[in-house]
Amino acid sequence: MSILYFLIPLALVILGGAVWAFFWAVGSGQFDDLDTPAMRIVLDDDSKPAEDP
């Protein structure tokens, strides 16, 4: 069981990294809009501008 003395702190370090990454993402505005991304996923980008209006 002594492996836990190594693995749990390691897990906590990774957790700290995840929290840091999330804070950075929030700070850079990636979570400012919580509504549009849910819609954007269903949009195709394949509609092209009309050739001859």
Partner 1 sequence: MSNASACFHCALPVIDDRFTVNINGTAEAVCCPGCKAVAELIRDSGMSRYYDLRDAPEPGVGKPEESAGEWEVFNREDMLDAFATVDGKRAESIVYVGGMYCAACSWLIETTLSALPGVLDAGVNPVTHRLRLNFDRKTIGLGDVLATLAKLGYHPQPLAPESTAAPELLEQRTALKRLLVASLGMMQAMMFAVALYAGEFQGISADMERFLRLVSFFVTTPVVFYSARPFFSGAIRGIRAKHPGMDLPVAIAIGGAYAASVWSTFYDGPAVWFDSVAMFVFFLTVGRFLEMRARHRSIDRSVALSSILPNTVIRIDGDSESTVPANQLVAGDRVRIRAGEPIPADGRLVDGTSSVDEALLSGESQPLPKSPGDRLLAGSINLDREIQMQVNVTGVDTTLGTISRLSERARYTRPGFVRVADRVASYIVVAILVVATFVAIGWSIVAPERAFEITLSVLVVTCPCALALATPAAFAAAGSRLSLLRLLVTNGDAVEAISRATHVVFDKTGTLTRGRPHIVETRPLNDDYSAEQLLAIAAAIESASTHPLARAFESITTDDVAEDVETTVGQGVSGTVGGRRWHLGRAGFVANNAAVDADDERLNVFLGDGESLYAVFILDDEPRHDARETITALSRLGLGVTLLSGDREASVKRIAQELGVHSYAWECSPQEKLERLAALQDDGEVVVMVGDGINDAPVLSGADASIAPAHSALLAQTSADVIMLGEQLMPVVTAVRVARKTLTIVRQNLGWAILYNITALPLAVAGLVPPWLAAIGMSFSSLIVVLNALRLSRMGSTEKVAAA
Residues 1-30 close enough to bind partner 1 by CB under 8 A? 1, 4-5, 8-9, 12, 15, 18-19, 22-23, 26-27, 29
Buried b or exposed e, range 14-52, using 16+ CB within 10 angstroms: eeeeeeeeeeeeeeeeeeeeeeeeeeeeeeeeeeeeeee
Our finding on whether 35 is near partner 1 (CB under 8 A) is yes
Q: Give the interface size with partner 1 as a residue count (CB under 8 A).
A: 28
Binding residue for partner 1, selected from 3, 10, 41, 43, defined by CB under 8 A: 43
